[in-house]
Structure 1
Amino acid sequence: MNIKRPLVLLLLSYTLFLSAQEKVIDTIYLFDNQMKKVKLFHNVTSISPNDVEKNSTNLSELLRFQTSVYIKENGRGAVSSPSFRGTLAGHTAFVWNGININSNFLGQGDINNIPLFGYDQLEIKAGGGSVIYGSSAIGGSIHLNNTLDFNKGFEGSIYSEAASFGTYNNFVKTSFSNDKFSIKVSGNHSISQNNYEVKEKEYINRNGRYYNTVINIGTSYKIAPHQTLSWQNQIYDASQYYPIFVENGNKTKYNSQTLRNLISWDINKSKLSNSLKAAYTEDNFQYFGDIDQPRTSGATGKNYIIKNDFSYFLTPKINVNAIGEFQVNKGEGYQSGIGNISRNIGSVAGLLRYFTTKDIYFEAGIKKDFIEDISSPLLFSFSGKWHAKKWYNLGIHVSRNFKFPSFNDLYWDKGGNKDLKSESSIQVDMDHEFHFGHFKIIVSPYYMDIKNLINWLPTPYGYWAAFNTTSAESYGLESQLTLNKQFGKHRFALNAGYTYSKSINKLTKKQLMYVPIHRISGHLEYQYDFLKIYVQGLFNGLTYTTTDEKKADAIDPYFVLNTGISATLLKKYTLGMKVNNMTNIVYETVAYYPMPKRNFSVFATIHF
């Protein structure tokens, strides 16, 4: 995929919004049709497939080094969860081609059980988005999107990597399209013995191996000049072995299988568009308390989803958007006390977009969710954008967002609580965007007030249970500096960000666990003709791991450097090498689980 494509999509969508003339924009079919509208009002970080290859171990590594999200990973390749703007793991929505895919049982996503390869657009949106993307979109959302081109003929690529700790990563993608039909198929297989050692911590990542395989298939057919019928499919299979601290420790593992299917019928004209989607998703997992014995627990979750998104221009400046969705969520647990359960969920949302001039426009939205046996708040959102000067843009966003209780929260035996309320939040944030020559600076202060947090606490009866316990407030600042400069055969690219995050439990007045107050990440790339060199840096400040801000148990600040070099020959063949943690430091993202020290990889890519 061309790395300029996200910008092209944004420009095309802006032209479509502000024009009342009939235009046929059919070069690209995007499954998440809302994302091009979101980009008009919000700062969205887009990660291209080329950038994915710089951090190819897993999705956790990619997000850690290329976004502002803090990633809590229990050692390389193990259980992993995000913290957006100081929020909890369940306050991030994972969205696959416009469909929320957070687990029915956990109410969140396990990052290392979500494939890294096979997407055409991987996009990160900070801030609330429940009006469009539903439950959990409180701190932010991570979007895994696929596109389909028309009139591109045959294309293909192969990526193969060998790395430290017995790690092998292979990805193949091929596509064909003409003026009416498009198909894209990709597959990835990753495997690692993952047996790294950190002598300073007297730690060996025993029993840490993993593998995963994913197959993606997407097709689209133009049934009329302005109508397409499309299908997207993902099949995923993985196994994680959990690290043990001593040689003779009890070895455990976790297996997961995912199936996602999405059919979409889309009508796109200058004034009117409609997207009707039907989706089926299935998540299965099995936990083995002893890798040589049968599973000790597990579950199967199934979702049946129908979603319709209708958009119409009343005038060239006024757009109305209605979104209706109905889901049936089913689950069956094994050795958890959760039997056959089912939950119906419906929602209705309306959005109004008004373009007063080419420099000022805004969006207002409202949504009501209807969740079986659970009350939910009335949600709203407001976003405005003002191109005040050639060198300065101002954006402001206000929203109410929510997260409803998961199956585990409600039905786990013992500890599930059927009387739980939905978590809700009020959020305000701003984007100050400055342009100076080839530099762009974005400064985004934010504030969130989150109520009815769901926590699992010990009870007098000897087991843990779920309760709506307290409230929290998160406030801080996100900033980003980018530079793209090319002269002749020389090209420089810089992307750096700083975040300041305070996330306070209102009852204790203490910082929440695993929320670093200061965090800096950066990426510098230089290219001359066929040769490319890059350096990545990540500074993570002091991070508390207990609720009482005990510094003795906190994760110390650390600074990690990665680098890589590659050469592209004949515009088709690329050979490269990467060095991760080149300064060989000792660091953790979760207490007691050190990450690898210096490690290496070599890779090759062929485009045809």
Structure 2
Amino acid sequence: MTRWIALILMLTLMQESPAQQLSPADTIQQLPEAVIVSTSLRDGLPGSHQEVWNLRRLTGTTHRALSDFLTEQGGVYVKNYGTGNTATTSIRGGSAGHTRVLWNGLPLEQPMLGQMDFSLLPLAFSDEIRIQYGGNSAGWGSGAVSGVVQVNNVPDFEDHSLHLNLEQGSFGSWQGNVTSGYGSQQWLGRTRIYWQQANNNFPYRIRPDLPSRTLEHAFTRQSGAYQEGHFQLKNQQLLSVYAWYQQADREIPPTTQQSTSEAKQQDQALRTAVHWTKWSSKMAWHARAGVYRESLNYDDPRASEFSDSHFWTILGEGTWQWHLDPSQRIETGITETWQQALANVYGKPKHQWRLSPFIGYRYRIRDFEAQGLLREELVDGRLIATTPSLAFHWRPRESVQVYWQGARNYRLPTLNDLYWQPGGNPDLLPESGWGQELSLSLKNKNACLQWSSSVTAYTRQIRNWILWSPLPGQFIWSPQNLTRVWSRGLELRGKITRNHPHIRWTVEAGYDLVHSTNQVAQTKPLLPVGSQLVYVPRHQAFASFQGQWRNLEVQYRQHYTSQVSTLNAGELSGYSLGNLLLDYRLKTGSTQITSFLRVNNLWNVTYRSVEYRPMPGRNYALGIHLELNSKKIE
């Protein structure tokens, strides 16, 4: 550990040498009003499989949760327990805990479960969603095994506007949010407020030959407020502060095996963060810190179950980048995390302290780039994991890119894995293993036509996979490092956009093949060798069309998910869902009004993504978006 601290201090204290100015190919980007941001080496090389969505350009998204948005996009399987209820993800055959979730670079996962409920991430509080497919534990630490989801805010010092969104939908759904941007060329403030509720009393059938039933006890309500401030300081510095408060009250409806339910869940979170950035022609310094206070209260009187959990997280990170010359860059940093959880199933508060230094180096020569990252993770003072990664990017032609990465990835046991009573196992080892991927992408662009396509192949072996199973001769279930999982697959993407004077259209399609199989036979739960993991579809595909004519826009997206295996209900059938969005924009000076109609599950398909949990059939939403700007809207 001392060698890491010495190296980081030495690099941080080095003086900037006389420098050439950075070439345009370097990753120092000029943003509005002279805000300079240097991208991190942890964001990966060009050519890696990533997807980025600018939410301010997508109509009708700010009313939705991230879980609903990702369900439509493909590439991510969302395990949804019902509209407005818990939703987790699987990327490239990984578990829910193998997806790292970042809020402006700071981890968001709940420490007790080690995963994120994506239904509690409102898009109204975000400007950009970024998905980085594949393992990146060397960059982002524990949990970045199968993918990284980033929820980002992007400061724009010219954005002095007011946005008002209202939506009414089927099954008693009402949603609204307001965003206000204000300030000057030197400071920016943004205030966001959102609220939504739904009865979710939709009809469903357990079997086609049985009469229709109405889902009961399914009311959900969420509300929250978000404040951010950005300040351009002297000597090329940027200071950003964030505060995020949110609460959710959810009735847990009965499963298809229950006649009624009285279960309820309340979630509450207060998250604050401070970010500081300083830059020069060859160096960039970043520091960020966050404090989270969250709680989860679950009560089921019929089952005599009650759980009251409170958890605190304190995070800090400092990074430093040095552009040695236009072809070489070094980045080093250290991340510290302190977590504490208090729950009636623990007996007394449990806490964990993590310290994780990393270093990275990137080298570019003509059309070739290479990058290496190395991270160590210490937990309560003990070295737990050392994770390297190596990546190459080659561009033989302007329209052709080849990318390869090899990396070791890991996931630490959660606090529930370690301390749940009865059954917690403090002797668990971290899940870890190696993965590789190879990608080829093609693209062409001119004034009227742009197209792109890519194919990615990957493989990943994870050892010491944690499973809960009965202890020998006992009825107590306990987590154990029982199995090994091999995930491999293909990802195909294609996109074409055509521009005319008054018409613009885009067609996009994708297909994912995922084989994620158990390599060690288990009896409880029953997992034969070679069996596909539960809730991991082998096939996913999507196709979409987006067309715009003058002020009218239409979007249609069809998404297919193959059958998945479950723990208790055998297999859930595959399904294909279609969603339609129509919107019309009216611009007058500095004001824009957009009205939209969204139809979800257009073909009224009966489906489940979780056993015994019905999902709604065809449903509608009508909405309006009002934008008031301080300058004329183009």
Q: Same fold (TM over 0.5)?
A: yes
Indicate if the aligned counterparts of 1:160 and 1:171 stay in contact, CA closer than 8 A.
yes
Which runs of structure 2 are paired with 1:207-218 in the superposition (5 Å)?
A: 207-218=217-228
User: Structure 2 vs 1, CA of residues 605 and 55 (structure 1 numbering), >3 Å: closer, same or farther?
Assistant: closer
Q: Which amino acid is 2:281 matched to?
A: S
> Which of 484, 495, 506 matches 2:519?
506
Q: Which of 282-291 and 472-481 deviates more?
A: 282-291
Once the two structures are TM-superposed, the CA of residue 205 in structure 1 deviates from its matched residue by 2.2
Determine the C-alpha separation between the residues in 1 that align with 2:263 and 2:452: 48
Q: Which of 111-120 and 580-589 deviates more?
A: 111-120
1:344 matched to 2:353: yes
SS at match of 1:449: strand
Which runs of structure 2 are paired with 1:227-306 in the superposition (5 Å)?
A: 227-245=237-255, 249-290=260-301, 296-306=306-316
Determine the C-alpha separation between the residues in 1 that align with 2:234 and 2:303: 56
User: Structure 2 vs 1, CA of residues 267 and 57 (structure 1 numbering), >3 Å: closer, same or farther?
Assistant: closer
Once the two structures are TM-superposed, the CA of residue 555 in structure 1 deviates from its matched residue by 1.4
| Correspondence for 1:457 | 469
Cα deviation digits, residues 505-545 of structure 1 (max 9, x gap):
00122111111111101221100000001101011112122
Once the two structures are TM-superposed, the CA of residue 110 in structure 1 deviates from its matched residue by 1.4
Consecutive unaligned residues in structure 2, runs of 5 or more: 1-20, 521-528, 629-634
Indicate if the aligned counterparts of 2:59 and 2:583 stay in contact, CA closer than 8 A.
no
Indicate if the aligned counterparts of 1:28 and 1:147 stay in contact, CA closer than 8 A.
no
Between the aligned residues of both structures, percent identity stands at: 22
Determine the C-alpha separation between the residues in 2 that align with 1:203 and 1:255: 26
Once the two structures are TM-superposed, the CA of residue 349 in structure 1 deviates from its matched residue by 0.2
Cα deviation digits, residues 261-312 of structure 1 (max 9, x gap):
111121022200000112111221111113999x821211111112101000
1:170 matched to 2:176: yes
Determine the C-alpha separation between the residues in 2 that align with 1:515 and 1:248: 29
Which runs of structure 2 are paired with 1:303-342 in the superposition (5 Å)?
A: 303-333=313-343, 335-342=344-351
Once the two structures are TM-superposed, the CA of residue 455 in structure 1 deviates from its matched residue by 1.1
Indicate if the aligned counterparts of 2:442 and 2:452 stay in contact, CA closer than 8 A.
yes
Indicate if the aligned counterparts of 1:398 and 1:427 stay in contact, CA closer than 8 A.
yes
Once the two structures are TM-superposed, the CA of residue 76 in structure 1 deviates from its matched residue by 1.6
- Count how many residue pairs are aligned between Structure 1 and Structure 2: 586
Indicate if the aligned counterparts of 2:36 and 2:279 stay in contact, CA closer than 8 A.
no
SS at match of 1:409: helix
| Correspondence for 2:437 | 429
User: Structure 2 vs 1, CA of residues 158 and 136 (structure 1 numbering), >3 Å: closer, same or farther?
Assistant: same
Q: Which amino acid is 2:301 matched to?
A: D
SS at match of 1:408: helix
1:575 matched to 2:582: no
Q: Which of 107-116 and 423-432 deviates more?
A: 107-116
Indicate if the aligned counterparts of 2:27 and 2:39 stay in contact, CA closer than 8 A.
no
| Correspondence for 2:191 | 185
Indicate if the aligned counterparts of 2:518 and 2:530 stay in contact, CA closer than 8 A.
yes
Which runs of structure 2 are paired with 1:366-515 in the superposition (5 Å)?
A: 366-372=374-380, 375-436=383-444, 438-459=450-471, 460-507=473-520, 508-515=529-536
User: Structure 2 vs 1, CA of residues 463 and 531 (structure 1 numbering), >3 Å: closer, same or farther?
Assistant: same
User: Structure 2 vs 1, CA of residues 374 and 555 (structure 1 numbering), >3 Å: closer, same or farther?
Assistant: farther
Q: Which of 430-439 and 222-231 deviates more?
A: 430-439
Determine the C-alpha separation between the residues in 1 that align with 2:302 and 2:72: 33
Indicate if the aligned counterparts of 1:383 and 1:398 stay in contact, CA closer than 8 A.
yes
Determine the C-alpha separation between the residues in 2 that align with 1:506 and 1:63: 29
SS at match of 1:570: strand
Q: Which amino acid is 2:474 matched to?
A: Y
Cα deviation digits, residues 379-421 of structure 1 (max 9, x gap):
0111221111232111111111111011100001101000000
Q: Which amino acid is 1:342 matched to?
A: H
SS at match of 2:217: coil
Q: Which of 567-576 and 48-57 deviates more?
A: 48-57
SS at match of 1:485: strand
User: Structure 2 vs 1, CA of residues 445 and 19 (structure 1 numbering), >3 Å: closer, same or farther?
Assistant: closer
TM-score between both structures, scaled by the size of structure 1? 0.92
User: Structure 2 vs 1, CA of residues 466 and 171 (structure 1 numbering), >3 Å: closer, same or farther?
Assistant: same
User: Structure 2 vs 1, CA of residues 161 and 509 (structure 1 numbering), >3 Å: closer, same or farther?
Assistant: same
Q: Which amino acid is 2:147 matched to?
A: G
Q: Which amino acid is 2:298 matched to?
A: Y
| Correspondence for 1:65 | 72
1:565 matched to 2:572: no
SS at match of 1:515: coil
Which runs of structure 2 are paired with 1:89-104 in the superposition (5 Å)?
A: 89-104=96-111
| Correspondence for 1:528 | 549
Determine the C-alpha separation between the residues in 1 that align with 2:600 and 2:617: 8
Q: Which amino acid is 2:459 matched to?
A: Y
SS at match of 2:385: coil
Determine the C-alpha separation between the residues in 2 that align with 1:26 and 1:225: 17
Q: Which amino acid is 1:260 matched to?
A: R
Consecutive unaligned residues in structure 1, runs of 5 or more: 1-14
Cα deviation digits, residues 460-510 of structure 1 (max 9, x gap):
322211111111000001111112221111000122210000001001221
Q: Which amino acid is 1:267 matched to?
A: K
Q: Which amino acid is 1:473 matched to?
A: W
Q: Which amino acid is 1:60 matched to?
A: S
User: Structure 2 vs 1, CA of residues 154 and 420 (structure 1 numbering), >3 Å: closer, same or farther?
Assistant: same
User: Structure 2 vs 1, CA of residues 203 and 379 (structure 1 numbering), >3 Å: closer, same or farther?
Assistant: farther
| Correspondence for 2:570 | 553
User: Structure 2 vs 1, CA of residues 23 and 45 (structure 1 numbering), >3 Å: closer, same or farther?
Assistant: closer
SS at match of 1:147: coil
SS at match of 1:40: coil
Determine the C-alpha separation between the residues in 2 that align with 1:32 and 1:91: 27
| Correspondence for 1:6 | none
| Correspondence for 2:13 | none
1:143 matched to 2:164: no
Once the two structures are TM-superposed, the CA of residue 153 in structure 1 deviates from its matched residue by 5.5
Q: Which of 83-92 and 173-182 deviates more?
A: 173-182
| Correspondence for 2:362 | 353
Once the two structures are TM-superposed, the CA of residue 177 in structure 1 deviates from its matched residue by 3.3
SS at match of 1:415: coil
SS at match of 1:595: coil
User: Structure 2 vs 1, CA of residues 143 and 474 (structure 1 numbering), >3 Å: closer, same or farther?
Assistant: same
Indicate if the aligned counterparts of 2:63 and 2:165 stay in contact, CA closer than 8 A.
no
Determine the C-alpha separation between the residues in 2 that align with 1:209 and 1:248: 17
SS at match of 1:377: strand
Which runs of structure 2 are paired with 1:16-55 in the superposition (5 Å)?
A: 25=31, 27=33, 34=40, 37-38=43-44, 40=46, 42-49=48-55, 50-51=57-58, 53-54=60-61
Q: Which amino acid is 1:74 matched to?
A: Y
Determine the C-alpha separation between the residues in 1 that align with 2:478 and 2:244: 35
Indicate if the aligned counterparts of 1:104 and 1:329 stay in contact, CA closer than 8 A.
yes
Once the two structures are TM-superposed, the CA of residue 42 in structure 1 deviates from its matched residue by 2.6
Q: Which of 168-177 and 31-40 deviates more?
A: 31-40
Once the two structures are TM-superposed, the CA of residue 137 in structure 1 deviates from its matched residue by 0.6
User: Structure 2 vs 1, CA of residues 311 and 495 (structure 1 numbering), >3 Å: closer, same or farther?
Assistant: same
CA RMSD of aligned residues (A): 2.4
Determine the C-alpha separation between the residues in 2 that align with 1:496 and 1:505: 30
SS at match of 2:138: helix
